[in-house]
Amino acid sequence: MENKLKIGIIGLGTVGSGVVKVLSKFNDIEIVSAAVKNLDKKRDVNVKNITTDAFEIAKNPEIDIVVEVAGSTHVKDVLIEAIKNKKHIVTANKELLAKHGAELFDIARENNVVIMYEAAVAGGIPIILPIKTSLKANDFNSVAGILNGTTNYILTKMEEENLSYEECLLKAQKLGYAETDPTGDVEGYDAMYKIAILANIVFNKRIDYTKIYREGITKISAGDIKIADELGYKIKLIAQAKKVENSDMLDIRVHPMLVDKNKSISEIKNATNAVLLSGFPVDKVMFVGPGAGEFPTASSVVGDILSIKSELNTNNQVLPMTMCNHSIYADLINISETKNCYYLRISANNEPGVIGKIGLACGEFKINLSCIIQKGVLDNPNATIIVITESCYEKDINSMIEKISKDNNIRVENKIRVM
């Protein structure tokens, strides 16, 4: 068939292999070459030309679109070279976009090519183009979601099987949901990169990811999960970005939250992802689907390829709505200045006056209590005290914790924000 669309792929791992398999169904698209780290690695797909030099793909005059599914930020220079050679880019690389997206999009605009990245956020869920097209009329107040399948799987299993974090992490690793080094997932980096990308397009401002507050799930215990359940909550790792009331600032953070069971996002289980948008006139809309995996992610990658294909040779500028035309960086509020409700798990000697001390400390920092429960056994010298506060400043709850922690009989074991 004449005039086939010519593709070069960087990375033939799980996602790259999925892309090759899906593209095999399209007779008018040809994979010209693929770049890999290891030529000797056994793969379940065949590409006629495989190289270890990704720059060969970036410079190949035959190739129309470079698909980057290798991950990491080491491919930045390769993509810049491809862009300067007038090649469109499709990528699933959230870390690269969060760290170097501003530079890449500027160079792409100068060279009149597009960077498509539907697969970089929430895997198989279509979210980037819907925000840029179908939801373009909206003035959004917030975007929030469960953006990491590994942590959601771990928290789900902790809840359903009453297991420790360490036990559920091991399960996730055995199933391939978690890497040998799970830091990127369990400490919130992956979700941080994704919420930076979403905030960029939702609020039309560039985001300095280094200013995003980030906290992982490693401190969540099976006890916290059980107590939250008894109180009508589930614990989820939530990434959120929202406008600060009466301000031009944005509040962007990633951390565990107690989510009311009546909220639909609390029902998202295992490796599933969800993105919740709130704005006018749409009010609230939630996207739910597989957040990772060979074919869900390949679905988004190939969707981007086909979007570019449909525009080639028809316009001087391909998919202009996908271009990044903003250059102002958002001003992010410091976490200490945010207001939240809080869950505190406190361990204390089971003696008179302890709850009174906690109440007095809260009063000193103008923190109202929504709930306070003592859970302890009569013959046990230690008691567990659960506190749920009303909305208060982060700096005030931290000052309160610092004050009561000076009492040797009181220890704050965990602090979790409430959604």
H or E element in which residue 116 lies: strand 115-116
Closest CA to 386 of 342, 346, 338, 417: 346
Element containing residue 239 per DSSP (H, E):
strand 233-243
| Cα–Cα dist 41/296, whole Å | 23
Strand partners, 116: 90
CB 419 within 8 A of CB 239: no
Task: Tell me: cis bond preceding 320? Omega within 30 of 0 counts.
Answer: no
Of the candidates 94, 194, 243, 415, the residue annotated as catalytic is: 194
Q: Name 385's bridge partners.
A: 346, 374
- Number of neighbours of residue 41 by Cβ within 10 angstroms: 9
Tokens of 371: 């709930």
205 is catalytic: no
| 8 A C-beta contact, residue 100 and residue 125 | no
Burial class of residue 34 (count of CB atoms within 10 Å of its CB; 0-12, 13-18, 19+):
buried
Q: Rounded distance, CA 318 to CA 111, Å?
A: 11
Helix (H) or strand (E) holding 403: helix 394-404
b/e code 116-134 from CB counts within 10 Å (16+ = b) = bbbbbbbbbbebbbbbeee
Sheet holding 29-35, edge to edge: 50-51, 29-35, 5-10, 65-68, 88-91, 115-116
Please enumerate in sequence order all residues whose Cβ is within 8 A of that of 102, keeping only pairs 6 or more positions apart, or say none: 206, 324, 327
83 within 8 A of 59, measured Cβ to Cβ: no
List residues with catalytic annotation: 194
